[in-house]
Chain A
Amino acid sequence: MTGADVLLLALGAVAVGAGALVVATRHLVRAGLWLVVCLGALAGDYLVLTAELVAWVQVLIYVGAVVVLLLFAVMLTRAPIGPSDDLDRPGWAAALVGAGSGLGLAVLLIDAFRWSRVDLPAAGTAERLGEQLFRSWVLPFEVLSVLLLAALVGAIVLSRPDIGRRSTDTSAAQPADEGRRP
């Protein structure tokens, strides 16, 4: 067992543990925070696997933006700060399917790789990854930017306050005392 393996094991354990807490905890906000821990551990995993750019992008975007967005959503939907009882539904189906998929995949992968070794490749620095991105993968890169634009526009459109009202407006008469709401 090399140092890399030890690190991978430790970080992996942290990630799995944090992930388990994300799906099991009764505190909404704490779920978001455990997600931060999990994603951070994964970023560490990437570093060990010499994927430097991916690791820092993970921290930036996932931990920095996505989780923050999730926490904003938690706040905007008036989530209770303490523990809540009604977060889960009966778990037998979930446990079955979840365990099945997780353990099934694990078995598959263990069966495929056993205890083999590989040598770590050259580090995936920004320079090297940039070279690949803007040479071989330029078209998907551009498409992705269009997709981001679409997501942006979509998010704005979906946030409009009058959504779903336009078509019903013309047929129904509005009561006179109904004022505008922000």
Chain B
Amino acid sequence: MSTPTLWLAAVLPAAPLVAGLLGLLLPPAPRQDRAAARRSAVALGVAGAAVSLLAALALLVRVDAPVEASTTWVDLGGLRVTLGLRLDGVAVLVATAVAAVALAVQVYSIGYLRRGPHDDVDVDHRYPPYAAQLSLFTAAMLTVVVSGDLIMLLVGWEVMGVCSYLLIAHDRRLPEAPGAAVKAFLVTRVGDVGFLLGIALLGVGAGSFRIADVLAHDYGTGTLTAACLLLLAGVAGKSAQFPLHTWLPDAMAGPTPVSALIHAATMVAAGVYAVARLFPLFERAPAALAVLGVMAAITMLLGAFAATAQDDIKRVLAWSTVSQIGYMTGALAVGAPAAALFHLLTHAAFKALLFLAAGAVIHAVGTTLMSRMGGLRAAMPVTFWCMVVGLGALAGVPPLSGFWSKDGVLAAAEAAALDGAGPTAAWVGWLVWLAGLVGVAVTAWYATRLLLRTFLGRTRTPLLRPHDPPALLRWPVLLLTAPAALLGLAAFAPWFADRLRVPGDDTGEAVELVHLAPNLILPFLLLLAGAGVAWAGWRRDPAADPARFLGPLRPVFARAFRLDDVQHALVVRPAGALARVVRTGDELGVDGLVEGSGRAAVEVGGGLAALHRAALPRAAAGVLAGALLIGLAVALIGVTS
């Protein structure tokens, strides 16, 4: 790797890391200096994100072939841990996306975390730690993206989890926030255990944790399958796939910019990215890919159906994220990592756009519930049209970006199903394809519902000041609309498609991201069907929720098939009971032993002290009895010796 590239790649995660650490190390400001502290926090956050975006863009231009640089950090007796960077087209593109969304979110947060039209008092939004944690998170995600060593990747992985926990719990006024943060942390932690074991298995097998070494090593099939399945556990956790998806809807308790950055565009995509990075290994373990395929299919449908019945706008978007990542993992399962990564990039753009626009709506209306919104189109036209673009991209309306990337996924699944292409069995392809098609219809349905309930119809809550959000909130949304709309067209550019080449794919053929074939029409028809049904249902009664047509299924979908309760019964309650048992054992047994010995010593001492304070008669009896005994002893010894 040439030196400027190396420096750029090092600056990429280092700039937001420095900004984050500085922000965290700044002393808390007293009340009167809060404005100054906020300004410096804003400056640090935006600067960190901007520098990393510049570095990413520079790398985007410079890097056109995979490059790598690493140095040994620790050698654990034959097991090498390196500090290294591994850049290829995928890494650079994803890094650019991450940095761009991070910058947009940093700017947006300046306007969002401020006294809004619905706030009665000026609350302390604690901006400095917030911005610092965002920067730290960005640094961690970029570490995951550019890392050349599995241990470094793991470090970034875990720091992301910590920052997610901190940021979800940021708003101290919300009673559900701490619980949601803990739930997010613990559920992803469960996945991370598997991830760690998978990495350990790979590293020990290869004798080194460097990604290049791991990819080059020849593992046995059993080891490889086991390692890949363990890695999938981490992917399921971080990317909110079934069965570890339960944390993502509750994580919406965090501020909306946080949801946009972490839970839509970046962290949840990290799992997909990790699989894509190690895809040569997964290719050799078809069993793991089959499991991934099943997970993806279930998740696609689960997320889509759950999104149909939510009232909270952020929850709709959260379940939508779960479903869309299901598409990405589905693409990976049928052996099309390029399609998965393309969908990752477009999803980052349009999901961040959707969250930020929803945040603008929430900021203006003062509630997240769609049942209280409505008729906002006239009051917030810019937001409305940006939302239209975002939802269109989500549903897959041509020529918006989501259409092309989703089509790429479906085409790959179809090829795997009908032509047997790719490393997995045909049934996996069928599963992913059919689930994907159904998902298209349902996605269109709930996207239309969201648009109609929020912006059209009668106003259910009149706005205090009906106007579009202020500039700081508006411009990030506007700027994200561009890639949400146009990124799909980049698929036609060979330099873009080339960059999404699978690592290790040495064939010279061009990567085909879009397939202009007649079977493009099928998803389009499904989209029209879904949207049409939703619109027709809404037309019948504009004030009512189209979700009422779900009938008895509505509460089931709203509670996401009660999987939360299943998780609670199977995992949370036994863990709680075990914790109580252990705690009781510790308090009674271990502590009891220690304290008991102390108490015993004190009581023995007290007894001896009482003996000392014995009254005269007892003392006299004691002395004379003692003398008698000693005399007896002496006499007996004298007699026997």
Q: Do A and B come into direct contact in the complex, CB within 8 Å?
A: yes
Residues of chain A at the chain B interface (Cβ within 8 Å): 89, 93-94, 96-97, 100-101, 104, 108
Bound Cα distance from A89 to B616, whole angstroms: 12
Asked if B617 is at the interface (CB within 8 A of a chain A CB), the reply is: yes
Q: Is the CB of B635 within 8 A of A108?
A: yes
Which of A93, A94, A96, A104 has a CB less than 8 Å from the CB of B631? A104
Bound Cα distance from A5 to B632, whole angstroms: 29
Residues of B601-641 contacting chain A, CB below 8 A: 617, 621, 624-625, 627-628, 631-632, 635
Q: Is the CB of A94 within 8 A of B621?
A: yes
Chain A nearest Cβ from B287, distance in angstroms:
86
Taking CB atoms, residues of chain A closer than 8 Å to B628 are: 97, 100-101, 104
Chain B CB count within 10 A is highest, among A94, A97, A104, for: A97
Q: Is the CB of B621 within 8 A of A97?
A: yes
Taking CB atoms, residues of chain A closer than 8 Å to B617 are: 89
* The 6 nearest A-B residue pairs measured at CB: A93-B621, A97-B625, A101-B628, A100-B628, A97-B624, A97-B628
Nearest neighbor of A104 in chain B, beta-carbon distance: B632
Taking CB atoms, residues of chain B closer than 8 Å to A100 are: 625, 628, 632
Taking CB atoms, residues of chain B closer than 8 Å to A89 are: 617
Q: A93-B621, A100-B628 are known contacts; what are 7 more A-B pairs with Cβ within 8 Å?
A: A94-B621, A97-B624, A97-B628, A101-B627, A101-B631, A104-B628, A104-B632
Chain B nearest Cβ from A134, distance in angstroms:
35
Nearest neighbor of B631 in chain A, beta-carbon distance: A104
Taking CB atoms, residues of chain B closer than 8 Å to A97 are: 621, 624-625, 628
Residues of B in contact (CB 8 Å), total 9
Bound Cα distance from A89 to B620, whole angstroms: 13
Bound Cα distance from A101 to B631, whole angstroms: 9
Bound Cα distance from A100 to B625, whole angstroms: 9
Which of B625, B627, B632 has a CB less than 8 Å from the CB of A93? B625
Chain B nearest Cβ from A180, distance in angstroms:
32
Nearest neighbor of A93 in chain B, beta-carbon distance: B621
Bound Cα distance from A27 to B631, whole angstroms: 34
Chain A nearest Cβ from B589, distance in angstroms:
42
Bound Cα distance from A100 to B617, whole angstroms: 18
Taking CB atoms, residues of chain B closer than 8 Å to A94 are: 621
Bound Cα distance from A89 to B632, whole angstroms: 26
Chain A CB count within 10 A is highest, among B624, B625, B627, B628, for: B628
Residues of B158-216 contacting chain A, CB below 8 A: none
Taking CB atoms, residues of chain B closer than 8 Å to A101 are: 624, 627-628, 631
Bound Cα distance from A94 to B618, whole angstroms: 10
Chain A nearest Cβ from B35, distance in angstroms:
65
Chain B nearest Cβ from A8, distance in angstroms:
25
Could you name 16 residue pairs across A and B whose Cβ atoms are closer than 8 Å?
Answer: A89-B617, A93-B621, A93-B625, A94-B621, A96-B625, A97-B625, A97-B628, A100-B625, A100-B628, A101-B624, A101-B627, A101-B631, A104-B628, A104-B631, A104-B635, A108-B635
Bound Cα distance from A171 to B168, whole angstroms: 69
Taking CB atoms, residues of chain B closer than 8 Å to A93 are: 621, 625
Bound Cα distance from A70 to B621, whole angstroms: 23
Bound Cα distance from A108 to B625, whole angstroms: 17
Nearest neighbor of A105 in chain B, beta-carbon distance: B631
Nearest neighbor of A98 in chain B, beta-carbon distance: B624
Taking CB atoms, residues of chain A closer than 8 Å to B624 are: 97, 101
Taking CB atoms, residues of chain A closer than 8 Å to B625 are: 93, 96-97, 100
Residues of B569-601 contacting chain A, CB below 8 A: none
Nearest neighbor of B623 in chain A, beta-carbon distance: A97
Chain A nearest Cβ from B614, distance in angstroms:
12
Nearest neighbor of B632 in chain A, beta-carbon distance: A104
Chain B nearest Cβ from A73, distance in angstroms:
18
Taking CB atoms, residues of chain B closer than 8 Å to A96 are: 625
Taking CB atoms, residues of chain A closer than 8 Å to B635 are: 104, 108
Bound Cα distance from A44 to B30, whole angstroms: 103
Chain A nearest Cβ from B517, distance in angstroms:
111
Bound Cα distance from A104 to B634, whole angstroms: 12
Bound Cα distance from A97 to B635, whole angstroms: 16
Taking CB atoms, residues of chain B closer than 8 Å to A108 are: 635
Nearest neighbor of B624 in chain A, beta-carbon distance: A97
Bound Cα distance from A96 to B625, whole angstroms: 9
Nearest neighbor of A90 in chain B, beta-carbon distance: B617
Bound Cα distance from A100 to B624, whole angstroms: 10
Bound Cα distance from A66 to B624, whole angstroms: 24
Bound Cα distance from A94 to B625, whole angstroms: 9
Bound Cα distance from A98 to B628, whole angstroms: 9
Nearest neighbor of A108 in chain B, beta-carbon distance: B635
Bound Cα distance from A93 to B623, whole angstroms: 12
Bound Cα distance from A97 to B632, whole angstroms: 12
Bound Cα distance from A4 to B94, whole angstroms: 127
Write the B462-478 contact mask toward A (1 if CB under 8 angstroms, else 0): 00000000000000000
Bound Cα distance from A56 to B598, whole angstroms: 64
Bound Cα distance from A101 to B624, whole angstroms: 9
Chain A nearest Cβ from B636, distance in angstroms:
10
Bound Cα distance from A108 to B634, whole angstroms: 11
Nearest neighbor of A94 in chain B, beta-carbon distance: B621
Nearest neighbor of B639 in chain A, beta-carbon distance: A111
Chain A nearest Cβ from B625, distance in angstroms:
5
Nearest neighbor of A102 in chain B, beta-carbon distance: B628
Nearest neighbor of B627 in chain A, beta-carbon distance: A101
Chain B nearest Cβ from A108, distance in angstroms:
6
Chain B CB count within 10 A is highest, among A89, A93, A94, for: A93
Bound Cα distance from A96 to B621, whole angstroms: 10
Taking CB atoms, residues of chain A closer than 8 Å to B631 are: 101, 104
Taking CB atoms, residues of chain B closer than 8 Å to A104 are: 628, 631-632, 635
Nearest neighbor of A107 in chain B, beta-carbon distance: B635
Chain A nearest Cβ from B568, distance in angstroms:
69
Chain A nearest Cβ from B326, distance in angstroms:
89
Residues of B347-369 contacting chain A, CB below 8 A: none
Chain B nearest Cβ from A48, distance in angstroms:
28
Chain A nearest Cβ from B634, distance in angstroms:
10
Chain A nearest Cβ from B186, distance in angstroms:
68
Bound Cα distance from A96 to B632, whole angstroms: 14
Chain B nearest Cβ from A106, distance in angstroms:
12
Residues of B208-243 contacting chain A, CB below 8 A: none
Chain B nearest Cβ from A154, distance in angstroms:
21
Taking CB atoms, residues of chain A closer than 8 Å to B621 are: 93-94, 97
Bound Cα distance from A96 to B626, whole angstroms: 12
Bound Cα distance from A108 to B639, whole angstroms: 10
Bound Cα distance from A60 to B127, whole angstroms: 106
Bound Cα distance from A96 to B628, whole angstroms: 10
Bound Cα distance from A139 to B76, whole angstroms: 87
Bound Cα distance from A93 to B632, whole angstroms: 17
Chain A nearest Cβ from B270, distance in angstroms:
80
Bound Cα distance from A9 to B617, whole angstroms: 34
Bound Cα distance from A104 to B625, whole angstroms: 12
